[in-house]
């Protein structure tokens, strides 16, 4: 849940288009196919929309087709479901974090990707394809990936401490500052899931057992304790959010900041002298933030499925390249080389990351963690109780 993109995956402050407005964009042309036309929704930032729109229009001109590309800067992906069921719904949706896939497949809204649409051997890892697949069937087309890492101000620190313990001590004692969106599980997941930490345990077949939730495990509790210590040390509190933490880093009030590649352009434009590094170890264990995959898919209710998959087949490499070039995504294709060192460092950070589950139940995880972390930081419960209650609340939410 990237720049979520809640990634929540986008954390982009955008205007949500209402269902009525979305449905209102009708397809024109003869239903018998005299004039082939696609309707594509791009759920992303404006720069990525502009690039995808150009790709689509150039392709349509070359092929003699018609394409409408509609911009939707919203993180409420569930609102797309009724739109996809309408007769004027989109044929293709681009810019969806993969952890939403399970709900769309469960609702029978996504067409399975025909074999040969993309060359999966050119994708960086099998894990990327698994992220856009459900029960062994591929439904999504991956265009980019993302994780969070540590930004640091090079004017204030010459090197990144080797451990989070050292980083916190330096940030506190030297009054350097360290901030991030503290109560948002997308950003805190690396600390809670480090070592043997987990949300849902996997069974012997590698499938998630949603009856086995790990927030009350010893490893997860260590993460909750660390989060509480950040307030105890006076570095941040329950009011620290994405906007305030980003502003503190931009202004030089905080030398350390955890976020994703979507912030790179803002810091470059502000001439911040920054570097990026994987998040240091905690309690001697690798910190494992979420790894998210940006994807596109074809509406199962579309009457233009063949044309939609033709679009992906013809333009896949360019979509992936532009996703990295203008969207600051990380590569999902082996052939893509990044020019920005900051993005290469984020790519390095993906080696420690854990893929966000794409099962429907993952959509219920965010509020239980946020609510219980907030109560913990407010002094209303211990770290142990925060983990225990987050587990209980999640179990109740997915019943």
Domain 6-147+291-355 shares a fold with domain 149-288+365-397: yes
| Mean predicted confidence (pLDDT) in 282-293 | 97
Q: Highest mean pLDDT range out of 36-40, 78-82, 118-122? A: 118-122
Averaged pLDDT score across all residues of the chain: 92
Taking a C-beta distance cutoff of 8 angstroms, is the pair 371, 393 a contact? yes
| pLDDT tens sequence across 162-185 | 999 999 999 999 999 999 999 999
Correct CATH for 149-288+365-397 of 2.30.30.830, 3.40.190.10, 3.40.980.10, 1.10.287.110: 3.40.190.10
The domain locations on the chain are 6-147+291-355, 149-288+365-397
What is the rounded distance in angstroms from the CA atom of residue 390 to the CA atom of residue 393? 5
- Residue 194: closest CA among 168, 176, 213, 221: 221
What is the rounded distance in angstroms from the CA atom of residue 165 to the CA atom of residue 194? 14
Strand bridging mode 354-355 / 290-298: parallel
What is the rounded distance in angstroms from the CA atom of residue 116 to the CA atom of residue 129? 13
| pLDDT tens sequence across 15-71 | 333 344 444 455 544 444 456 799 999 998 899 999 999 999 999 999 999 999 999
CATH architecture classification, 6-147+291-355: 3-Layer(aba) Sandwich (3.40)
What is the rounded distance in angstroms from the CA atom of residue 175 to the CA atom of residue 255? 9
């Amino acid at each position: 849940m990237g720049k979520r993109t809640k990634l929540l995956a986008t954390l982009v402050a955008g205007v949500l288009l209402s269902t009525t407005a979305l449905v209102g964009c009708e397809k024109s042309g003869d239903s018998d196919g005299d004039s082939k036309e696609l309707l594509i929704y791009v759920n992303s930032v404006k720069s990525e929309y502009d690039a995808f729109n150009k790709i689509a229009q150039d392709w349509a001109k070359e092929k003699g087709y018609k394409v409408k590309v509609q911009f939707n800067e919203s993180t409420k992906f569930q609102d797309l479901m009724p739109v996809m069921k309408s007769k004027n719904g989109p044929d293709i949706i681009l810019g969806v974090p993969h952890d939403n896939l399970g709900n769309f497949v469960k609702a029978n809204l996504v067409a399975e990707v025909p074999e040969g649409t993309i060359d999966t051997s050119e994708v960086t890892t099998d894990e990327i394809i698994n992220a856009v697949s459900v029960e062994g069937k591929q439904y999504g087309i991956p265009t980019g990936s993302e994780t969070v890492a540590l930004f640091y101000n090079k004017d204030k620190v010459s090197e990144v401490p080797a451990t989070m313990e050292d980083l916190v001590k330096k940030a506190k004692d030297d009054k350097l500052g360290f901030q991030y969106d503290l109560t948002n599980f997308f950003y805190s997941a690396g600390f809670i899931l480090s070592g043997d930490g987990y949300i849902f345990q996997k069974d012997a077949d590698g499938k998630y057992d949603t009856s086995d939730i790990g927030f009350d495990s010893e490893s997860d509790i260590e993460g909750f304790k660390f989060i509480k210590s950040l307030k105890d040390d006076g570095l941040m509190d329950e009011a620290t959010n994405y906007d305030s933490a980003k502003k503190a880093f931009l202004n030089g009030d905080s030398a350390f900041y955890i976020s994703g590649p979507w912030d790179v352009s803002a810091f470059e434009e502000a001439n911040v002298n920054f570097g990026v590094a994987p998040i240091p170890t905690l309690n001697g264990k690798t910190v494992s933030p979420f790894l998210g995959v940006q994807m596109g898919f074809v509406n199962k209710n579309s009457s233009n499925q063949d044309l939609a998959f033709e679009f992906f087949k013809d333009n896949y490499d360019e979509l992936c390249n532009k996703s990295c070039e203008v969207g600051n995504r990380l590569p999902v294709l082996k052939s893509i080389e990044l020019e920005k060192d900051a993005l290469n460092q984020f790519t390095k950070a993906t080696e420690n990351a854990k893929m966000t589950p794409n099962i429907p139940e993952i959509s219920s995880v965010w509020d239980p963690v946020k609510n219980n972390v907030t109560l913990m930081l407010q002094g209303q419960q211990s770290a142990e109780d925060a983990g225990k209650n987050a587990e209980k609340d999640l179990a109740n939410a997915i019943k």
